[in-house]
Amino acid sequence: MTPATTATLPKNVFWFEVLLLTSLMLDCISVAFQDRTMSDPEMSGTVIAAANTMAAGLIILLAYLVWLAAHGRKNWARAVLTASLVFSIVSLTQIVDDSGFEFGLWIDIASCGLTAAGIYLSFTGDARGWFKG
């Protein structure tokens, strides 16, 4: 199998990839330090394990989309990552409204900031024209 592209990544695409992968590493840290106490009687160990497995699967999927966008030059993958950022911001806003700012939330806010910066870079500078349909 040959690589999807042999061209060198433009600088903005390189930083797009670095920032989004760093954001996903922060997401891994956030999942690792989530409160897993079973204070809610409906939260069994199975439900907690399923939630963690789904979070890990989502992180792996997003990492693959970052690779597809940066190295596969897929514009649709970049669009999915942009939509994911919008959903994350809406979710964070709702969490802040419900429970206020907590320590773990600052990691998620930093993650969204890194993602926003990376997405911005993917639409500007030498990244223009890199992505195809």
Q: How many structural domains compose the chain?
A: 1
- Per residue in 39-79, pLDDT tens? 666 667 788 788 889 999 999 999 999 999 999 999 999 99
pLDDT given for residue 2 in this prediction: 47
Mean per-residue pLDDT, 18-41: 84
pLDDT given for residue 41 in this prediction: 64
Assigned domain for 72 exists:
yes
Residue span of the structural domain in which 57 resides: 11-31+45-127
Assigned domain for 81 exists:
yes
Q: Based on DSSP, count helices (H) and strands (E) in the chain, helices before strands.
A: 4, 0
Assigned domain for 71 exists:
yes
Rounded (10°) CA dihedral 64, 29, 55, 47:
160
Rounded (10°) CA dihedral 4, 128, 79, 122:
90
pLDDT given for residue 6 in this prediction: 52
Assigned domain for 40 exists:
no
Assigned domain for 1 exists:
no
Mean per-residue pLDDT, 121-127: 95
- Per residue in 103-119, pLDDT tens? 778 899 999 999 999 99
pLDDT given for residue 56 in this prediction: 92
pTM listed for this prediction: 0.86
d(CA 32, CA 19): 20
Assigned domain for 133 exists:
no
pLDDT given for residue 45 in this prediction: 76
Assigned domain for 132 exists:
no
Average pLDDT, the chain: 88
